[in-house]
A and B are shown apart, each in its own frame.
Chain A
Amino acid sequence: MSRIAATFDRLRAEGRTALIPYITAGDPHPDCTVAMMHALVEAGADLIELGVPFSDPMADGPVIQKATERALAHGTSLAQVLEMVETFRQKDQDTPIVLMGYDNPVEAMGYAPFALRAREAGVDGVLTVDMPPEEAVDGYLEALAAEGLDRIFLVAPTTPESRLQAVEAEGSGFVYYVSLKGVTGADALDVQDVAEHVAVLKRRMNRPVGIGFGIRDGERAYEMARLGDAVIVGSALVREMESMVGAPCEQVTARLKEALAPFRAGVDRADREQSS
């Protein structure tokens, strides 16, 4: 069983919702990324989503765009991101890691060489924003599956039910529900709308549902934890890094833990209410 499936199984048995923080690898500095990953686990992360910087992040809002530019200014490459995961794994063999990014850096490395190196480094799943199931059949899925990596796909508010079958058939690990029409970090979360869509997903798909995009504070994390199996927090954490450029890694990790705390509290509150 994959580390991702095992984690969701354990959390479900404990009646808990997963908290999945996202950070952009290499931001604010590549030397801090591994320490930041450990800090996230200490602050209550159940899985980690690690962003692979790409020069043209067309699905991301300004916060993650700027983080990407900071990371690329330090030359952060996909190969280096895999090295960061490998270093992280020396101390942490339990926390699943999902790489999130765009296709071109993966394609430049080659799907099969990438999958092999990702598995060896200790990556558990891959989410490629501009790789829908329709295109993934040309080598991408096969390469990831051959190395036992989970293939995570997005489902959006605009996704018709007719597409869910392909997402279920080609994907694995969990389903990432994009909670709004917009880019990452947008301010347009509609709880009722998410509730309706997630209910359909849970009925139609036999897979944990993570909810992300636009979860800006602990209150929204609480609301989303009542609906999904996982809550994904990205821009709200990454924004905290804007003032951390040039700061020592201890300060960066301290700020990151502080930033994640209200989200952990929000998720825990939802779990307590649902268990009682």
Chain B
Amino acid sequence: MTIDYSQFPDTRGHFGPYGGIFAPETLMAALEELKQQYHTLKRDPQFWAELDADLRDYVGRPSPLYFAERLTEAWGGAKIYLKREDLNHTGAHKVNNTIGQALLARRLGKTRIIAETGAGQHGVASATVAARLGLECVVYMGADDVARQAPNVARMKMLGAEVVPVTSGTRTLKDALNEAMRDWVTHVDDTFYIIGTVAGPHPYPEMVRDFQAVIGREARQQILEKTGRLPDALVACVGGGSNAIGLFYEFLPDEEVALYGVEAAGHGLETGQHAAPLCAGRPGVLHGNRTYLMQDDNGQILGTHSISAGLDYPGVGPEHAWLKDIGRANYVAVTDEEALDACRDLTRLEGILPALESSHALAYAKKLAPELGAERMMIVNLSGRGDKDMKTLAAVEGFEY
């Protein structure tokens, strides 16, 4: 039976058993208002026209689809096309979503926006749109991430945002999300919460997906123009999963296109030191939705490890959980080391420094290319650029920064 993917989530925000609205009562009315406003705007061509104009003139879309010839040669197999989200204004795919949500915030008459961030890319993208629209902006960031993503912290401050280091729990992205939720509960009247990924309570997973789906719409058209056919595979990294769903969504009905979401295996899945809930977790409820989680037998959320702050999260968007269960997408994981190797390869062979998050997608593409063979081709989502990771990379490579 063919699935009409556009019918998901259902009216209650569910993708099969996943998703939903598992939120404290104080937020229920705000989420209902957000859902109604978003669904009204979703049918409003003027809203999308305004968004498209911003994406073109402010973000710099469409982002190119680049054939990485030297990389293809070196990895010895399928042709590798890179979707260059790293070339967007602010340096990652995150801005596609923040532009959309900020327009929504303005329509709702909110004067203050808050955001959580892991690698800082979503924080920068939020601070950027806040500056442009003249909104107050507060970004919550795990204290450990503040330390390892210093360039992005500096950018957010330069943009006029307040960056609040979160010292509770594991001091990373999940704790930043908790703190942003607490802020929202407290300031729900005047504050819009810009969630950076396809997780959280309904309608966020749907809304963020819709804003990121521009990636796949462009990529599908670009690959048809360049090659006259659809790709054999799509590869994208998955933390919360917004760049992956953004690339995948337009291709979901194209069943002949294989989808690979790449999670962070950290030091290795067998060590427990990773951030791969789809590969090694089980379903539960966290941050407003039901999805795959890294948790212990008692339902406590486990600490995660990844060299990449943007993937260092114990949950994942509910649509990915559903795509896994129904078998439409494959979820795999690569280690810190494999991601670093792929990062070096792309930098030295193509002169493109990828974010450590995106390097996970590249690392899996490196394995997949020879398996598929030279007659096949794939699109890898280069979701962000690696400038923000220079401190981590310099420490690994042993030079001063």
Contact = CB atoms under 8 A, between A and B. Distances in A.
Given A56-B178, A104-B299, A132 B286 contact: no
Contact of B29 (A77, A158, A178, A188): A158
B25 A58 contact: no
A204 interface: no
Nearest to B17: A138
Given A69-B169, A104-B300, 19 more contacts: A54-B300, A55-B301, A56-B169, A56-B178, A59-B181, A59-B182, A103-B22, A104-B301, A105-B298, A108-B295, A131-B22, A135-B21, A154-B25, A154-B26, A155-B25, A159-B29, A181-B188, A182-B26, A182-B185
A158 B188 contact: yes
Contacts, number: 119
B285 A103 contact: yes
16 contacts: A56-B175, A56-B178, A59-B24, A65-B168, A77-B300, A104-B301, A107-B285, A107-B299, A130-B22, A130-B24, A153-B25, A158-B188, A178-B26, A182-B26, A183-B186, A186-B186
B287 A58 contact: yes
Contacts of B23: 130, 132
B257 to A, nearest CB: 33
Kindly name the residue among B12, B25, B174, B299 whose own CB sees the greatest number of chain A CB atoms within 10 A: B25
A41 interface: no
B288 interface: yes
A116 interface: no
B299 A154 contact: no
Interface of B: 12, 20-30, 168-169, 174-175, 177-178, 181-182, 185-189, 284-288, 293, 295, 297-301
7 nearest A-B residue pairs (beta carbon): A108-B299, A105-B299, A154-B25, A77-B298, A156-B26, A182-B186, A59-B24
Given A78-B298, A158-B188, A181 B26 contact: yes
B182 A61 contact: yes
Interface of A: 54-62, 65, 69, 72, 77-79, 102-109, 129-132, 134-135, 153-160, 163, 178, 181-183, 186, 188
A178 B22 CA distance: 17
Contact of A108 (B26, B28, B297): B297
Contacts of B189: 181
A160 B28 CA distance: 9
A119 B178 CA distance: 31
A59 to B, nearest CB: 4
Contacts of B20: 134-135
Contacts of A163: 28-29
B314 to A, nearest CB: 9
Contacts of B286: 56, 104
Nearest to A62: B168
A105 B300 CA distance: 7
Given A55-B169, A181-B185, A78 B299 contact: yes
A104 B174 CA distance: 15
A203 B112 CA distance: 35
Nearest to A182: B186
A27 B334 CA distance: 39
Q: Which residue among A54, A130, A157, A178 has the maximum number of chain B CB atoms within 10 Å of its CB?
A: A130
Nearest to A157: B26
Given A56-B286, A65-B168, A158 B26 contact: yes
Contacts of B298: 77-79, 105, 108
B236 to A, nearest CB: 26
A104 B298 CA distance: 9
Nearest to B315: A56
A183 B12 contact: no
A271 to B, nearest CB: 28
B24 A104 contact: no
Contacts of A57: 178
A60 B177 CA distance: 13
Contacts of B186: 181-183, 186, 188
A65 B182 CA distance: 12
A131 to B, nearest CB: 6
A56 B25 contact: no
Most A C-beta atoms less than 10 A away, residue of B24, B30, B178, B295: B24
A134 B20 CA distance: 9
B25 A178 contact: yes
Contact of B25 (A103, A108, A156, A188): A156
A109 B29 contact: no
B295 A104 contact: yes
B174 A56 contact: yes
A187 to B, nearest CB: 11
Contacts of B26: 59, 154, 156-158, 178, 181-182
A132 B285 CA distance: 13
Given A65-B168, A134-B12, A159-B28, A56 B301 contact: yes
